[in-house]
């Protein structure tokens, strides 16, 4: 089976990109080992601090952030690290060619109930600084800590999936993920319905109406509450994920973060033939104005995303 270093050699001749991805994969393998033992080691629960977004940090948020930082600190290819858990960008190497933006542990509210969480990362060219559009990404990926530990990666070619083997190797298990064009599965936190805008409400009502409504087909709903797990399902079998701008999150610009949640996921989903939008523009074309900027996120199967875009175009 193809391993990660063989795949990297075939995908890029840029040693900086390959080196940084290798470091993030090593960080992911270390986080996976920590998560497996966390309830025994007493590492679940809160860390007692809040991050820059005002969210309570879990002990494992902090531990995961430290693991990523340790793996990147030693890497002269990294110029700057932007992390959900760090208020400011961290300078790593003045000679570094690559900026890394990461959500070291996504979905951490699911940790105490042993449900899939993940690590998301994005690589940008150092000379453009951290506030570059997602379309400038050099590569992106995530690690999903589920029944299997999966590493999903894309440089500029296909979106590929690796599985962590017992001997610590990452083995290629899906060479080119393909998000089906059409799907009958949507993912949104429906408890937020009272805050939704008209396009979101229109799309969901149309879907819930199923074969008797204008969509003319039956839909199912799934919401893990870990973006990594929800996007992984969509990459593997299709569907649409929505965290739109709603009345409660509007003043902040949305819920999910552009640099280390929306952009890397849009890069991966689009690389697998899917589509992404804020509702009004492609996620990858949004110009960031801050490292922790939030953005509305709608991505997945192209036909479904287009249906949502149609709703936005109408209203
Ligand atoms: O609490 P909600 O509304 O279900 O939101 C869940 C979303 O928030 C997130 O947990 C945010 O990520 P963090 O856990 O990294 O803050 C996403 O993974 C997930 O999609
Ligand atoms: Mg997150
Ligand atoms: Mg997080």
Domain annotation for the chain: domains and CATH numbers:
4-174 (3.30.540.10), 185-314 (3.40.190.80)
CA of 295 to the centre of ligand 1 (A): 13
Residues 6+ apart with CB under 8 A from 168: 29
Q: Which ligand is nearest to the CA of 297?
A: 1
CA of 218 to the centre of ligand 3 (A): 33
Residue with the smallest CA separation from ligand 1 atom 11 is 107
The whole-number pLDDT of residue 176 equals: 98
The whole-number pLDDT of residue 6 equals: 98
> What are the residue ranges in the chain where pLDDT is below 50?
none
The answer to whether the CB of 226 is under 6 A from ligand 1 is: yes
CA of 32 to the centre of ligand 3 (A): 15
The answer to whether the CB of 273 is under 6 A from ligand 1 is: no
The whole-number pLDDT of residue 55 equals: 76
The whole-number pLDDT of residue 52 equals: 76
List b or e across 96-124, with b for residues whose CB sees 16 or more CB atoms inside 10 angstroms. Answer: bbbbbbbbbbbbbebbeeeebbbbbbbbb
The residue written with tokens 């929306």 in the block is 262
The whole-number pLDDT of residue 211 equals: 94
The preferred substitution site among 256, 258, 259, 294 for testing ligand 1, maximizing ligand atoms within 8 Å of CB, is: 256
The whole-number pLDDT of residue 165 equals: 98
Q: Exposed, middle or buried, 94 (CB in 10 Å: 0-12/13-18/19+)?
A: exposed
Q: Which ligand is nearest to the CA of 226?
A: 1
The whole-number pLDDT of residue 41 equals: 85
The whole-number pLDDT of residue 72 equals: 98
CA of 119 to the centre of ligand 2 (A): 8
The whole-number pLDDT of residue 16 equals: 98
Classify strands 185-187 and 220-221 as parallel, antiparallel or unpaired: parallel
pTM: predicted TM-score of the whole model, two decimal places:
0.96
């Amino acid at each position: 089976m193809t391993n990660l270093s063989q795949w990297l050699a075939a995908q890029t001749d840029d040693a900086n990109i390959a080196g940084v991805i290798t470091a993030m994969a090593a960080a992911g393998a270390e986080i996976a080992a920590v998560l497996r033992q966390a309830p025994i080691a007493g590492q679940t629960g809160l860390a007692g601090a809040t991050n820059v977004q005002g969210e309570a940090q879990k002990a494992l948020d902090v531990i995961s952030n430290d693991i990523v930082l340790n793996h990147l600190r030693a890497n002269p290819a990294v110029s700057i690290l932007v992390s959900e858990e760090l208020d400011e960008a961290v300078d790593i190497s003045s000679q570094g060619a690559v900026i890394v933006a990461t959500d070291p542990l996504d979905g951490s509210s699911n940790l105490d109930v042993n449900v899939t969480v993940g690590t998301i990362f994005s690589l940008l060219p150092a000379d453009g600084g951290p506030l570059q559009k997602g379309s400038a990404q050099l590569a992106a990926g995530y690690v999903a800590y589920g029944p299997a530990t999966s590493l999903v990666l894309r440089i500029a070619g296909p979106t590929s999936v690796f599985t962590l083997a017992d001997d610590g190797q990452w083995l290629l298990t899906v060479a080119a993920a393909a998000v089906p064009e059409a799907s009958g599965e949507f993912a949104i936190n429906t408890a937020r319905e009272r805050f939704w805008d008209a396009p979101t409400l229109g799309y969901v009502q149309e879907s819930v109406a199923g074969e008797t409504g204008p969509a003319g087909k039956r839909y199912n709903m799934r919401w893990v509450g870990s973006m990594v797990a929800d996007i992984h399902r969509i990459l593997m079998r299709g569907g649409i994920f929505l965290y739109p701008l709603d009345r409660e999150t509007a003043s902040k610009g949305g819920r999910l973060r552009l640099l280390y949640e929306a952009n890397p996921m849009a890069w991966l989903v689009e690389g697998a033939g899917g589509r992404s939008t804020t509702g009004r523009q492609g996620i990858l074309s949004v110009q960031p104005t801050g490292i922790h900027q939030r953005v509305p996120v709608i991505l997945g199967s192209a036909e479904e995303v287009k249906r949502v875009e149609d709703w936005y175009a109408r209203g």
